[in-house]
Structure 1
Amino acid sequence: MNLNLEKIKRAQENIKNVARRTPLFYSSTFAKETGYNIYLKCENKQKTGAFKIRGAYNKIASLTEDEKKRGVIASSAGNHAQGVAYAATAFGIKSTVVMPDTAPQAKVKATKGYGAQVIQYGEVYDECYCKAIEVQRQTGATFIHPFNDEEVMAGQGTIGIEILEDLPEVDAIIVPIGGGGLISGVAVAAKTIKPSIKIIGVQPSIIASSKASFEQGKIVTLPGVKSLADGISVKAPGDLAFEYIKNYVDDIVTVSEDDIAYGIFCLMERSKLVAEGAGAAAIAALLSNKVEIQGKNVVALISGGNIDIAAVSKIIDRELIILGRRIRFVVELQDKVGQLGQLVTNVVSMGANVVKVRQDNNWNEKGLDYANVLFEIEVQTREHAQKVIDTLREKGYNLEIVG
């Protein structure tokens, strides 16, 4: 085990002209909801949209001239891919990245844009890794591991230094964990500077390989499953990273897919931050009360923001419905001129926003003089929704809530 603060500081020097020093800011909204003083470390504002450029650039900077000449290859669910592509191009090195068939197209397109050749293979990261090793053997390219490499960990550990420099009074850092490279680097840096600090990892409950390994004290391999937090969906932590996890990490908790989606939604609505699933894992753990900390000052590491806009749209729609802020109902109307317009006026006058209206003139059991009209409306709160429904019924409208 050779990862230490000195090595992380050398990485900080290596990447200082490339990686951004990302903002750390206090969130009064999340503080009120959780009871902690919540600070957000925004690696979603990093170049390439995620923290991975730190480790990838530091690793490539450390390669010998012979290794650089042979080019580099990596496997990645998306963010490491972009970091490797960016760093390799900066050094004038050929790069190839194997990504899952299911990788968000935003990440695939960006990786190609940074100069890498992309091979898409498999459903989850671990299948990509096997394919990348196969290609590496055929080409002789230098493999850049996304997490199980001390130079990569050192690059990621620069985040820990930045947090302690900006907030010396921090009591705990909540870190997304998959293979373990990020949390290893952050933990070594932070605990060396401030031994009392708590480092807590967060992983999706449907593929909590690092948590199972942490609890059993040995590496546990689980079946590959794709989580909304694709960046931390790995079958097993790295063996090298796991040694640092055992020695430096205080706890690992899990979050559900619903927790992750809610975290993404809340970061957008309340903090105006776009985060991918892995990037929202830390705040998801805090919002779902999965973390218990003695101290008050807590940093949630928002590790990345590379999420498909189509997924964002689905999450917003879903959360609005779950929260009762978007509702659907069917109203029976007489098929007369002005009836539909009057209903729309009534809805809007109560402060609701009409999202969708669909009128079906042919299928009311009372005959052709009546129509069923499907409404989808947005409201401010669940209570507001109930008030709209109650008022419409008081006005004589026959309506039924639908899913």
Structure 2
Amino acid sequence: MPLDKPAADLITLDDIERTRAGLPDVVRRTPILPLARDSAEVGNEALFLKCENLQVTGAYKVRAAFAVMNALTPEQRAKGLVLASSGNFAQAFAYAGALTGTPIVIVMLDRASPYKVEATRGYGAEVVFCGNDALSRQPTVEKIGRERGMTAIDTWEERPIAMGHGSIGLEIVEDMPLVETVLVPVSSGGVAAGIAAAVKLRRPDVRVVGVQPENANAAYVSMQRGEPTTINHWDSIADGLSAVRPGAFPFRHLQTFMDEIVLVSERDIAVAFRTLLFRSKILAEPAGAVAAAAFLSGRVPQDRRTVAAVTGGNVTEAMVAQMLEMAAED
């Protein structure tokens, strides 16, 4: 894939602004909505939701998918693209491929959400399963790329990924000038890297906090150790945060631009899901509710005007029922 700078270089504000300018009109500028936990908070909200669950394909990743497509040569588009995804990138690239005429193959874990698998195939992409070892996904991607002559990308490491995600950060500081804290979920680190870079480069006074589930905390552990670290146990309802280690490229951005990473429990996620659904009428998938969970559970200060990225809303009826049941448990 042609890149204008080595992957080792951090993305710049110019990179993010240029990438945003190249996104097609189908990519939505999603709203920022207030969340009041009860009637007393209406009109005095401190938490606001950046609603990427309302993005086309139901999640934020379509921004990065089109950023990657714009970096491909015509020959690469004709031969196609192969990548790994737990579901939302799959749908985003499948959709972008359909619009640009690019064949797409997605490598997924066997435990991937059936809903996301079906939606990915519905957009026209091919799905290949690789078992349940998250670290086996990229070798499978590389193998398919060699065998079929397709461009194999590592969504953890490609510059356009973080640059595309950075457009979310630009929208947050532009649409919410008084924002004091931005919360973003962290998995491999791409969206967190892009948002953190955009926010800090535009507004260095704004605090940027990453959020992970307690049992899916690879980036948290990595920040403590100062290097990308693989965790030996992963167990969370937030299937969209499936990385057992952060990518090396996004991790450098987390070290540079992110103030801290906090952890939330599974029940915190479920309670946040319920609160978003019934108080703000926002349907989030578990991973999409993680950032808001940090505020709603008191893991971050309550007296700062805070924007939480609701990164996706691709969820089944069964998952909705499970989340509500978890939220109701004592």
* TM-score, length of structure 1 as denominator length: 0.76
Residue from 93, 96, 106 that aligns with 2:105: 96
**Unmatched runs of 5 consecutive residues or more in structure 2:** 1-8
- Confirm or deny that 1:246 pairs with 2:246: no
8 Å contact kept, 1:11–1:155: yes
Per-residue CA deviations over 1:137-160 (Å, capped at 9, x if unaligned) read 222211233332210111100001
Larger Rg: 1
**What is the aligned partner in structure 1 of residue 271 from structure 2?**
262
Within a 5 Å distance, the mapping from 1:120-269 to structure 2 comes to 120-123=129-132, 125-223=134-232, 225-269=234-278
Per-residue CA deviations over 1:1-31 (Å, capped at 9, x if unaligned) read 1411111111111114121010101223279
**What is the aligned partner in structure 2 of residue 339 from structure 1?**
none
- Confirm or deny that 1:301 pairs with 2:309: yes
Residue from 17, 41, 45 that aligns with 1:9: 17
8 Å contact kept, 2:20–2:167: yes
Residue from 106, 115, 122 that aligns with 1:106: 115
Within a 5 Å distance, the mapping from 1:360-371 to structure 2 comes to none
Q: Indicate how the Cα distance of structure 1 residues 231 and 217 shifts in structure 2: closer, same or farther if over 3 A, else same.
A: same
Residue from 84, 96, 102 that aligns with 1:87: 96
Name the amino acid aligned to 1:24.
I
How far is the alpha carbon of 1:226 from its aligned partner? 4.0
8 Å contact kept, 1:178–1:210: yes
How far is the alpha carbon of 1:267 from its aligned partner? 1.3
Q: Secondary structure at the match of 1:254?
A: strand
Q: Which moved more, 1:265-274 or 1:182-191?
A: 265-274
**What is the aligned partner in structure 2 of residue 341 from structure 1?**
none
**Unmatched runs of 5 consecutive residues or more in structure 1:** 324-403
How far is the alpha carbon of 1:260 from its aligned partner? 1.3
Q: Which moved more, 1:224-233 or 1:46-55?
A: 224-233
2: CA distance between counterparts of 1:124 and 1:172? Answer: 35
Within a 5 Å distance, the mapping from 1:324-335 to structure 2 comes to none
Within a 5 Å distance, the mapping from 1:42-57 to structure 2 comes to 42-57=51-66
How far is the alpha carbon of 1:187 from its aligned partner? 1.1
Per-residue CA deviations over 1:299-339 (Å, capped at 9, x if unaligned) read 0100000112111112223433x25xxxxxxxxxxxxxxxx
8 Å contact kept, 1:59–1:144: no
Give the paired residue count: 320
1: CA distance between counterparts of 2:181 and 2:133? Answer: 31
8 Å contact kept, 2:188–2:250: yes
Q: Secondary structure at the match of 2:112?
A: coil
Name the amino acid aligned to 2:288.
G
1: CA distance between counterparts of 2:155 and 2:31? Answer: 24
How far is the alpha carbon of 1:130 from its aligned partner? 2.9
- Confirm or deny that 1:274 pairs with 2:283: yes
8 Å contact kept, 1:53–1:84: yes
Considering Cα pairs closer than 8 Å and 6+ residues apart, tell me whether 1 or 2 has the greater RCO.
2
1: CA distance between counterparts of 2:197 and 2:326? Answer: 39
Q: Secondary structure at the match of 1:232?
A: coil
8 Å contact kept, 1:148–1:238: yes
2: CA distance between counterparts of 1:270 and 1:26? Answer: 10
**RMSD of the alignment, in Å?**
1.8
Name the amino acid aligned to 1:23.
P
Q: Secondary structure at the match of 1:74?
A: strand
Name the amino acid aligned to 1:310.
A
2: CA distance between counterparts of 1:69 and 1:169? Answer: 45
Higher strand residue share: 1
1: CA distance between counterparts of 2:80 and 2:63? Answer: 19
How far is the alpha carbon of 1:261 from its aligned partner? 1.6
1: CA distance between counterparts of 2:299 and 2:10? Answer: 32
